[in-house]
Amino acid sequence: MRFKNKNEMSNKVIDLFGNNKVVPNTGVKYSKLLEQFMNPFMEDFKDYEYIEDILDFAINAWNFGNIKTIIPSEEFDKARKDIPKNDIDFALLNRMIDYKNEKFKEYENFIVDFELEEVAVGDPILKVITQEKEAYLSNMLNAMEAPLSYSEENFEENYINRSAIIVKPKQPFIDWHNSLYPDSKMDEIDIDIYLVDDSINDLEKWLKKKFDKLFTMVLYDWHTNKKEWPQRRNYKMFKQWFRVEISETVYDLEKRPILKSE
């Protein structure tokens, strides 16, 4: 689900989950805190198309802010340098880390996940999962000490450490396409395949966060005029328009290296 500006993030009903790893909602709502934390920076996210990407960035900044108050500064600087560079806006990340510790220092829980729950009317409801400092750090240390699940030595030949999301159009998508192109109707159902992290173990949960990214990529493949795309897209519509499967084992049988355009 996409929001155009910070005002669309305001006034959301925010709840917390409850299980043995989650901090129960006995006082302050961390999703409300997250919203307040993000608001001053929404203009910096104007080029972000998806609210999920903004939330991911903000949650990372929040958690880094917590870590910065716990570990020595030299260790924190080393950890920050180890972040995969990609296209991360490090200047923004650093500003948000400092802002977290300036305005929200007393809130020490880590945010470990979120969900945008769709409702019949209005914008989705934001929910977050938090973890107490001790539990989060214990899990992080255990992960650092655990042996890697794969290495160059134990890779199966030709195996790629990705899962494949397979998206196949259903009749509503075909009808939409054919209404736009009556002279070149879709007579075969093409599929799209997207490589994703191989740690996804709950496809439904992943899709609820990423569905509109997949939705728009498929739409753009077939029709580039966004004004003629279906508006108010939601997860229910996505499920009606596409069938999605996941393949957890991906192999490359070719000798030529895989090329990836930046």
Q: What is the mean pLDDT of residues 245-257?
A: 83
Residues 173-194 have a mean pLDDT of: 86
What does the alpha-carbon distance between residue 213 and residue 49 come to, in Å, rounded to a whole number? Answer: 9
The size of the chain, in residues, is 262
pLDDT of residue 173: 93
Residue 34 main-chain phi, psi, to 5 deg: -60, -45
| Residue 186 confidence (pLDDT) | 79
Q: What is the average pLDDT across 151-157?
A: 54
The token pair at 114 is 């979120």
What distances in angstroms separate CA 219 from CA 35, 88, 180, one per listed residue? 30, 26, 12
Question: 201 is written with which tokens?
Answer: 């173990």
The three-point CA angle 209-100-12 to 5° equals: 45
Q: What is the pLDDT of residues 192-235, one digit of tens each?
A: 899 988 888 788 888 888 898 899 999 998 999 999 999 888 88
Task: Please write the tens of the pLDDT for every residue from 46-93.
Answer: 888 788 889 999 999 999 999 898 888 888 777 766 666 566 788 899
Q: Which residue has the higher pLDDT, 122 or 194?
A: 194
Domain boundaries, the chain: 6-145, 159-251
Please report which confidence band the pLDDT of residue 23 belongs to, taking 50, 70 and 90 as the band edges. Answer: very low
